[in-house]
Chains A and B, each alone.
Chain A
Amino acid sequence: MNYDRPELLDRLAAEYVFGTLTGLARRRFERLRRALPAADAAAREWETRLIPLSMPVPPVAPSPSVWNAVDRRTGGVRHVTARGWWSWWQPVAALAVGVIATLGLVRMFPASVVPIDEIVQDRGSLPQSYVGLLTDAAGAPAVLASSTRHGKVMTIKVLKPIDVPAGKVLQMWALPREGAPFPIGVIPARDKGAFTMSGTSEQLLSNVPRLAVSIEDAPAAPGATPGPFILTGHCVKLW
């Protein structure tokens, strides 16, 4: 076949995109498309021309298993395979380091963790609280988050100022043991701050082992998917 004839190429591209080019002829055109830019261009033109025909096809929500399979096959989820004993200890060790670091910081900056320091004075110990210490990619402590067990206010102390592009916000997320991350509030880029959560710490965080922060265009709505996390850390119960 003489593929130099543009009208022939165009006709093949049309039937290929439309779907009526079948069998060996279809495979041949696919090879041709990879080898000959003019063939690829003709196919792209037809794809663009015919896309309005696909627009009225009703959307169908895929089962969650589709994304899970895609995620696994593209390396998003690490496989739990037979590994050395050390690999089993890694998360435990990481958690222990996180807890020790958190407690250390809580002792160093108790006032920032629990704003009600009078109570601390009176009782001689910290009240029951949820505490999170978030670190940056380099592992440096960046944000301390704390809230009393039955309170709705999350107090934030930024230990290391965060660069936020103009017009963006720093969104804090709770990463539950099971299920998708959910947004809990927006934090400041420096110094101190606080936000009110939609429920008490006990309601929201009792099954949340980790917290994270991402940069978003606007405060995230419930059900939103987070952007890349710039800070993550353990969330622990302080009692």
Chain B
Amino acid sequence: MASDVAQLSGWLAKTALGDRSAFRRLYDATAPSLLGVALRILKRRDRAEDVLQEAFVNVWHNAGRYSAAASQPLTWLTAIVRNKALDALRGEARHAADPLEDESGKTHDVEDERPNPLGLLEAAVDRLRVRDCLAEIKGPQRQCLALAYYNGLSHSELAAHLGAPIGSVKVWIRRGLEKLKRCLDAP
């Protein structure tokens, strides 16, 4: 659905004024992509839907803080959902040894249902500007960025996953982001 920026901004502005119907439209237009983002990070649908619910309750109360000058509506909403999903993921990691195990002890093999993070990075690459910028980043650094952004892996988890020293992981991420910034911000 091509919900343009002006339409989403309008619904957000009305939501800030307590317009429930605008809030519903905003939800209908954005919830599926936002759930996709949360599900990437959390792997489990129930947890991802909890995050989506929290995010929209938050949006209802804080829509007035959205500033159209500072960011586009979907960017703002995605940031809220990503932050909540990352917090939920890490809260789980603290409480449960294996976040993929449910109460019955069965392991959910949901990982296979998701496109792999590198695949998503390649898909993002198709978007003009990002393509040129990501093309410069290769090998384990590329994989590192993809796993961190799409799966919410921390430095130590990335190190374990990639079998690389944590120092290298930190440098890959930092330099990768610097490279992205330099390239994306270039006029």
A226–B21 Cα distance when bound, in Å, is 7
A48–B71 Cα distance when bound, in Å, is 7
Please state if A70 and B27 are interface contacts (CB–CB under 8 Å). Answer: yes
* B155, CB-defined interface residue at 8 Å: yes
Please state if A54 and B24 are interface contacts (CB–CB under 8 Å). Answer: no
* B168, CB-defined interface residue at 8 Å: no
Report if A57-B155 is in contact (Cβ < 8 Å); known contacts: A18-B149, A18-B173: no
Cβ of A69: which chain B residues have Cβ within 8 Å of it?
Answer: 53
Cβ of A59: which chain B residues have Cβ within 8 Å of it?
Answer: 32-33, 35-36
* B6, CB-defined interface residue at 8 Å: no
Please state if A53 and B181 are interface contacts (CB–CB under 8 Å). Answer: no
Describe A's contact surface by its main secondary structure: helix
Minimal beta-carbon separation of B135 from chain A (angstroms):
14
A interface footprint on B156-170 (CB within 8 Å = 1, 0 otherwise):
001000000000000
Interface 9-residue window, one of A60-68, A78-86, A125-133, A153-161: A60-68
Most chain A CB atoms below 10 A, which of B20, B24, B27, B177: B177
Minimal beta-carbon separation of B93 from chain A (angstroms):
10
Please state if A11 and B27 are interface contacts (CB–CB under 8 Å). Answer: no
B interface footprint on A25-62 (CB within 8 Å = 1, 0 otherwise):
00000000000000001011001111111111111111
Please state if A50 and B115 are interface contacts (CB–CB under 8 Å). Answer: no
Please state if B19 and A19 are interface contacts (CB–CB under 8 Å). Answer: no
A15–B112 Cα distance when bound, in Å, is 27
Report if A19-B28 is in contact (Cβ < 8 Å); known contacts: A56-B124, A57-B120: no
Please state if B70 and A44 are interface contacts (CB–CB under 8 Å). Answer: yes
Cβ of A14: which chain B residues have Cβ within 8 Å of it?
Answer: 177-178, 181
Please state if B36 and A22 are interface contacts (CB–CB under 8 Å). Answer: no
Minimal beta-carbon separation of B38 from chain A (angstroms):
9
Please state if A57 and B33 are interface contacts (CB–CB under 8 Å). Answer: yes
Report if A49-B184 is in contact (Cβ < 8 Å); known contacts: A19-B152, A57-B40, A60-B39: yes
Please state if A47 and B32 are interface contacts (CB–CB under 8 Å). Answer: no
Minimal beta-carbon separation of A231 from chain B (angstroms):
14
Please state if A51 and B75 are interface contacts (CB–CB under 8 Å). Answer: yes
Cβ of A62: which chain B residues have Cβ within 8 Å of it?
Answer: 31-32, 35, 49, 52
A104–B148 Cα distance when bound, in Å, is 68
* B108, CB-defined interface residue at 8 Å: no
Chain B interface: which size bin? Answer: 35 or more
* A114, CB-defined interface residue at 8 Å: no
Cβ of B137: which chain A residues have Cβ within 8 Å of it?
Answer: none
A65–B127 Cα distance when bound, in Å, is 34
Report if A51-B74 is in contact (Cβ < 8 Å); known contacts: A19-B149, A62-B49, A228-B19: yes
Report if A67-B27 is in contact (Cβ < 8 Å); known contacts: A22-B155, A62-B49: yes
User: Which of A57, A61, A76 meets B150, CB within 8 Å?
Assistant: A57
* B47, CB-defined interface residue at 8 Å: no
Report if A74-B57 is in contact (Cβ < 8 Å); known contacts: A51-B74, A52-B127: yes
Cβ of B148: which chain A residues have Cβ within 8 Å of it?
Answer: 18-20
Report A's interface with B, CB cutoff 8 A: 10-11, 14-15, 17-20, 22-23, 41, 43-44, 47-63, 65-67, 69-70, 73-74, 76, 214, 225-228
User: A56-B120, A226-B21 given. 4 additional CB < 8 A pairs?
Assistant: A19-B82, A20-B158, A49-B185, A57-B150
Report B's interface with A, CB cutoff 8 A: 19-21, 23-25, 27-28, 31-33, 35-37, 39-40, 45, 48-49, 52-53, 56-57, 60-61, 70-72, 74-76, 78-79, 82, 86, 90, 115, 120-121, 123-124, 126-127, 129-130, 145, 148-150, 152, 154-155, 158, 173-174, 177-178, 180-181, 184-185
